[in-house]
Amino acid sequence: MQTIQSVNEMQSHAIGLRSSGRLIGLVPTMGCLHEGHLSLIDIAKERVDKVIVSIFVNPTQFGANEDFDHYPQALEADLEKCRERGVDIVFNPTVEGMYPQGYSTYVNEEQVSAGLCGLSRPTHFRGVTTVCLKLFNITRPDIVVFGQKDAQQCSVIQKMVTDLNIPAEIVIGETKRGADGLATSSRNRYLTNSQHEEALSLSKALLIGQRMVHEEGVRSVDRVVAEIIHHLSSAHRLRVIYVQVVDRETMEPAREIIPGTQLVCVAVWVDQTRLIDNIKL
């Protein structure tokens, strides 16, 4: 396994791989790898000749007073996990390499990113689209694998790829969950045992909403959202940021439930830790 830090070296190496006819898969991460990330690596390995995992805590997607300075990092453990999983290249650039002095160019997607997390984190998706476009230009992937847990991010990136004619396929891996149902996330490391127990309300509440639709035939968005909020409110450490039924592709709010086309998306604070989750309807 190679570890590359230089942007120019990574780009040159990727161009060489493409010239030799190799298919490249990229799994973009901010490190602190967990089973969710590893499942995305497995998807990439099935589809391509060379798998690149990027590990970069991207400062431009963090807003003021967010956790950039404290975001969990475990590079040596990450490298070992990548090695064990059969990753070919880990691209681990510096902030200075990705955003050199005088940097002033950003990418804005203005529709899919407008709601949900875009309301409470107004600069977040600008940072996500900017860093992803840079990573795509540097690593030249044929496919890029993201996780369904970050559903809005997936849709924003897909829209950017479509709108800007980027020659890469976006592949979405299913959300990986622990045995207790909690969606895997690097931020889970912030949680104490008692906070972790209360965070389990996310997946339980989403399952309640899904059962209302598929087992009880409920088609009222308001009823489903109200029941999910009611369940979340029973956890004393949780503060609901949003619960919304949206179109899977556009992230536009739904007026009525149409099974097979929508998601219920949830964001909460567990004390000072922000968690998101979603489930298909």
Tell me which residues are annotated as active site: 37
Q: Give CA 74 to chain center in angstroms.
A: 18
Q: Are 264 and 228 in contact (CB under 8 A)?
A: yes
3-state secondary structure the chain: CEEECCHHHHHHHHHHHHHCCCCEEEEEECCCCCHHHHHHHHHHHHHCCEEEEEECCCHHHCCCCCCHHHCCCCHHHHHHHHHHHCCCEEECCCHHHHCCCCCCCCCCCCCCCCCCHHHHCCCHHHHHHHHHHHHHHHHCCCEEEEEHHHHHHHHHHHHHHHHCCCCCEEEEECCCECCCCCECCHHHHHCCHHHHHHHCHHHHHHHHHHHHHHCCCCCCHHHHHHHHHHHHHCCCCEEEEEEEEEECCCCCECCCCCCCCEEEEEEEEECCEEEEEEEEC
In the three-class reduction of DSSP (H, G, I as helix; E, B as strand; rest coil), residue 205 is classed as helix
